[in-house]
Amino acid sequence: MYDDRMRDRKGKKQMLDKKVVELLNKQVNKEFFSAYLYLDFSNYYYDEGLDGFGNWFKVQAQEERDHATLMIQYLQNNGEKVELQAIDKPGAPTKSAKGVLEETLKHEQYVTGLIHTIYDAAYEAKDFRTMQFLDWFVKEQGEEEKNAENLIKRFALFGDDPKTLYMLDSELGARVYAAPTLVL
Ligand code: MG
């Protein structure tokens, strides 16, 4: 049953819960911030001469913009208003090749928590449509965390020796952007 939370002021039935819409709007901003943060990391690696790492994070930034765009499109598909907010400046990261990777994992764990909070609100509101939409993001976050963990592990194995670091950097340089698998 839809309760009052699913109706706007004119009594028109809304499909999405108000609180969920608010959280999705906030998440649009967080995804753009993630893109900004990863561009900052990308720039750091390019400055250090690790162009492969720089490329990997540049592609990652593109993926984050896709996440934001998907959320915008989802809101629009459901007749909801999108309000873009100012994007925070990335804070001064630990400027070390290893530290950046650790920050990436921490950031992804934070984003996972945000996605779960939206999912929880959708669950509470019986907003099944949003739950279904968010399923993709829940899975995506699992992959993002795994990717960051793998980078940390491989840097620990290969980061100290210039030869193996060069090989790892070359491998990351081969990453190419692919459009998201979620189509709305
Ligand atoms: Mg994301």
pLDDT of residue 7: 52
d(CA 71, CA 34): 14
Mean per-residue pLDDT, 93-121: 94
pLDDT > 50? residue 30: yes
Kindly tell me the number of DSSP H helices and DSSP E strands found in the chain. 5, 0
Q: Shortest CA distance to 38 belongs to which of 61, 59, 54?
A: 61
pLDDT of residue 166: 98
Beta strands in the chain (DSSP E): none
Radius of gyration of the chain (CA): 19
CA of 28 to the centre of ligand 1 (A): 9
Mean per-residue pLDDT, 169-183: 96
pLDDT of residue 132: 97
Of residues 129 and 13, the one with the higher pLDDT is: 129
Mean per-residue pLDDT, 34-42: 97
CA of 31 to the centre of ligand 1 (A): 5
Q: What letter does residue 13 receive in the DSSP assignment?
A: B
Q: Tell me what percent of the residues of the chain surpass a pLDDT of 90.
A: 88
CA of 169 to the centre of ligand 1 (A): 23
pLDDT of residue 1: 44
How many CA atoms, within 13 angstroms, populate the side-chain half-sphere of residue 178?
5
How many CA atoms, within 13 angstroms, populate the side-chain half-sphere of residue 165?
13
Name the average pLDDT for the chain: 93
d(CA 119, CA 113): 10
- pLDDT, one tens digit per residue, over 130-164 is 999 999 999 999 999 999 999 999 999 999 999 99
